[in-house]
Amino acid sequence: MARGYETVEIKQKLVDLLRNSKTGFSGVEISEKLGINRVTMTKYLNVFAAEGLIRQKNIGNVNLWFIEEGTEQFRFPDDYFKVKNTFLENLVEGSEQQVFRLIRNCNHSNAQTSKIMTDIIIPAVESVQELFRQGKIGKSEEKHLNKIISNSIQILNLTPTETIPEKNAIVLSTDSKNALHAEAASASFHSEGWQVSSLGDMSDAIDVLLDLDLEKLLGKIWKQKTGIMIIVVFSETQEGLKFFSEAVNSVKGKVGKNLYLVLCTKIKTPTAKADLVAENLETALQWSQTIFERSVA
């Protein structure tokens, strides 16, 4: 199968073809109309069906393909603001299917996963937290909305991505409030070719032996010490930043200079030591890519 722009072009042509048909097309007809080998087209159809873009329906002895209901094409970057507001509206209303359809449409419209996270998902996470702080939603509703957001992230995380062996990352949060930020970060790093180990909320792992646990983990997932390893920690407390910073820096002395620590926090003057302290995910992603490019230069 083709990659990159060829896949995007084929997807767009398929959407245009099926959108203008009320009766659908068979795989053979689609292959002929798009001028693509039948076997190759079948692979594309199966991939796009798994992504939720199209669906197959049996009519008599013929299998016909249709555009999935609710499929919409966006134009990015112009539509990020529009999608951000629509996502939050559907989320607060608890319209799960609308939320998931919106995310799939972003994916079909070739939006960058990292941009979806920074411009749509993370603002929604922070809006839900603010609604809870203001007492406009209760704990149960907060958990429900967070679960919808988490499932939205997973939809994007399932998109096939070719990873680079030299780009390695571990992403975690020191508390439950930053768990979705870490989840969004994991999906973003993965979409940009990083081999990611997502540890989620590590608040229950705070003990004096954490550095030994991290060393063992690195020995399993970064055996050959190929390329670089970046550990990204999300936290909103000085205590969490300090504890994980000390644990990681202790391991750095044993593992080597190709291990880096990034702290993502809203705290203005963190006292913890790190290679980078970032206020947002976008900065962390850009810095990590720069470090990688320097390592292979």
Residues 97-112, mean pLDDT to the nearest whole number: 89
Establish if 73 belongs to a structural domain.
no
Nearest to 167 by CA among 213, 89, 232, 233: 232
Strand partners, 56: 65
Residue 2 clears pLDDT 50, i.e. is over it: no
pLDDT tens digits, one per residue of 129-180 = 999 999 999 999 999 999 999 999 999 887 778 899 999 999 999 999 999 9
Q: In what order do the strands lie in the sheet with 276-278?
A: 195-201, 167-173, 228-234, 259-264, 276-278
Q: Predicted confidence band at 5 (pLDDT cuts at 50, 70, 90)?
A: very low
63-72, 151-160, 180-189, 242-251 — which is least confidently predicted? 63-72
39-43, 164-168, 259-263 — which is least confidently predicted? 39-43
**Same domain, residue pair 228 and 191:** yes
Domain boundary among 46, 67, 88: 67
**Same domain, residue pair 254 and 197:** yes
Q: What is the pLDDT of residue 51?
A: 74
Q: What is the pLDDT of residue 253?
A: 81
More confident residue, 233 or 224: 233
Residue 224 CB burial class (10 angstroms; 0-12, 13-18, ≥19): exposed
Q: What is the pLDDT of residue 54?
A: 86
Q: Predicted confidence band at 4 (pLDDT cuts at 50, 70, 90)?
A: very low
**Same domain, residue pair 188 and 120:** no
Cα dihedral across residues 205, 210, 213, 214: positive or negative: positive
**Same domain, residue pair 47 and 111:** no
Cβ-proximal residues to 227 (8 Å cutoff; 6+ apart), any chain: 164, 165, 166, 167, 168, 258, 292, 295, 296
**Same domain, residue pair 198 and 253:** yes
Establish if 117 belongs to a structural domain.
yes
Q: What is the pLDDT of residue 210?
A: 82
Residue 255 clears pLDDT 80, i.e. is over it: yes
Q: What is the CA radius of gyration of the chain?
A: 22
**Same domain, residue pair 262 and 184:** yes
Distance of alpha carbon 2 from the chain centroid? 23
Which amino acid would we find at residue 44?
A: Y
Query: Per DSSP, which regions of the chain are E strands?
Result: 25-26, 54-59, 62-67, 167-173, 195-201, 228-234, 259-264, 276-278
Q: What is the pLDDT of residue 235?
A: 95
The tally of domains found in the chain comes to 3
Q: How far apart are CA 222 and CA 202, in angstroms?
A: 20
Nearest to 70 by CA among 98, 111, 41, 38: 98
Residue 106 clears pLDDT 50, i.e. is over it: yes
Q: What distances in angstroms separate CA 26 from CA 33, 41, 100, one per listed residue?
A: 11, 11, 27
**Same domain, residue pair 34 and 60:** yes
Return the number of other C-beta atoms located less than 10 Å from residue 56's C-beta: 14
CATH code of the domain containing 12: 1.10.10.10
Establish if 112 belongs to a structural domain.
yes
For residue 10, the enclosing domain spans 5-67
